[in-house]
Amino acid sequence: MRWSCLILIYMIALPACRKDPAPEPGPSGGGAATPCVPLPSEPPFGWNYWLSAPFVWAPRWNPNDPNEFIILEYRTAFLSKLWKYNLSTHEVEYLIEGQFLASAEWGASGWILLNFGWPANIFKIKANGDSLTQLTFDAQNFGGEWNYWGDTIVYYHADNSTRIMLADGSFIQELPNGGGYAESISSWRHPAYLVNPSSGLYIFNPYEGVPVPLISEPSIGNYYRASFVNDLDRIVWTWNPGLHTTSIATHETVLIEETCSSNAYSSVDCHPLNNKLLLARVKQTPNDPVQNVLKNGSSVVIMNLDGSDKQIISIPFPE
């Protein structure tokens, strides 16, 4: 089952589907531990999820301005709103709303990719909310991620292929059998590589689809999102047990912050100009042992690449 097909699973259920794995074997490195109590085992019939409003997901930087980012506010299973937020002015600007199937992605060209509605196609929109443009028309297309320069797009099609197109929607290439791209969690913000943190950490040449494993340990937990650091060697990535960086050249992995299944970062985006990290954090609390209610709260966090100067950003969403 694809992440984009059940976006609610992407936001909530995956962090809760199992207990945290044992610390070994796992990535090693330094970093200060944060006290965190893992979730208990999932009930036989699953959790009943309750979301604390506002519930936010998939914040992404404006790659040309470290004072701006976009963020999705979940309203219902069929409606999320996309907002733009300015850290300096605290201005919140509404852009568009719909049934988002994957994260929105802001490219270096200034355009924002959108994947919403059925039968599942990919669109782009200007950063001021104008010029909504449909790019795919054959349906069952998911995700959408800009390349390093913001002029080419990779996405996933439901026939289990990775496809590449130009910014105007012109088709370039298709790679069957997955091809390396995973919607909402992969990043292509590197001149040579796409990173995929699904069941390990892999880099690909997206035109060839051959994986190069950096961490190949699929049994150790749920991986959520990876983003390239601007030195173009390190990758910052998050999963249940923590937030890490891994070097492409040496495969050295360093812990930035320890987390656990009840309180983990569900996404991370590293700004290409100053390496500030923009994260969504989901805190899950069993709330009703009879009804198996799992309360879910979310927050937006900004920090330096080494974990210092951490700030929780409160966004004044309009009604």
Q: What is the pLDDT of residues 232-256, one digit of tens each?
A: 999 999 988 899 999 999 999 999 9
Domains by residue range for the chain, with CATH: 3-17+30-313 (2.120.10.60)
For 108, the token pair is 């270096």
59 Cα distance to chain centroid: 8
* β-sheet bridge partners, residue 57: 72
pLDDT score recorded for residue 20: 36
* Rounded to 5°, angle at Cα 244 from 243 and 248: 150
pTM here?
A: 0.89
Report the chain (319 residues): mean pLDDT per 10 consecutive residues: 41 38 37 70 90 94 98 93 97 97 97 95 97 97 97 95 96 86 94 91 91 78 86 95 96 95 95 98 89 94 98 93
* β-sheet bridge partners, residue 8: none
249 Cα distance to chain centroid: 24
* Strands 48-51 and 293-303, bridge-based pairing: parallel
Alpha carbons within 13 A on the beta-carbon side of 19: 7
Which of 243, 78, 217 shows the shortest CA–CA distance to 235?
A: 243
pLDDT score recorded for residue 28: 39
For 43, the token pair is 């009930």
Burial bucket for residue 137 (CB in 10 Å: 0-12, 13-18, 19+): exposed
pLDDT score recorded for residue 13: 39
pLDDT score recorded for residue 24: 31
75 Cα distance to chain centroid: 18
For 257, the token pair is 């912050």
Quick: pLDDT tens for 155-174.
Answer: 999 999 999 999 999 999 99
pLDDT score recorded for residue 252: 96
At position 84, the amino acid (one-letter code) is K
